[in-house]
Amino acid sequence: EPEVTQTPSHQVTQMGQEVILRCVPISNHLYFYWYRQILGQKVEFLVSFYNNEISEKSEIFDDQFSVERPDGSNFTLKIRSTKLEDSAMYFCAGSGTNSDTQYFGPGTRLTVL
């Protein structure tokens, strides 16, 4: 059964550094998402991506964040200048339609020191 994969599983970085989180969605999915979950809190929507552009973004997804699907398979989330409060689990997800089930990757744990 196809799965969403994410790398790295754990990223430790210094405050102010740039990080890129990578995801390989399921190949026949068309909609892609990033969510985050701060420890002990709920899963929060960051951004959705369809047809090579952002469809919707949350208030969390400010100018420090960007997404890209550079080669038709990888889907990346970049944080330009990390802050302590960016420490969280970041989940990539994908779906076939915008109302269909979203399948989540295993997540990247980002720790900002």
Partner 1 sequence: QKEVEQNSGPLSVPEGAIASLNCTYSDRVSQSFFWYRQYSGKSPELIMSIYSNGDKEDGRFTAQLNKASQYVSLLIRDSQPSDSATYLCAVNRGGTNAGKSTFGDGTTLTVKP
Contacting residues toward partner 1, per CB under 8 A:
31, 33, 35, 41-45, 48, 50, 55-56, 58, 89, 91, 95, 97-107
Instruction: Supply the minimum distance, in Å, between the C-beta of residue 7 and partner 1.
Output: 14
21: enclosing H helix or E strand = strand 19-24
Angle at 56 between CA 12 and CA 98, to 5 degrees: 105
C-beta of 50 vs 65, nearer to partner 1: 50
Instruction: Supply the minimum distance, in Å, between the C-beta of residue 100 and partner 1.
Output: 7
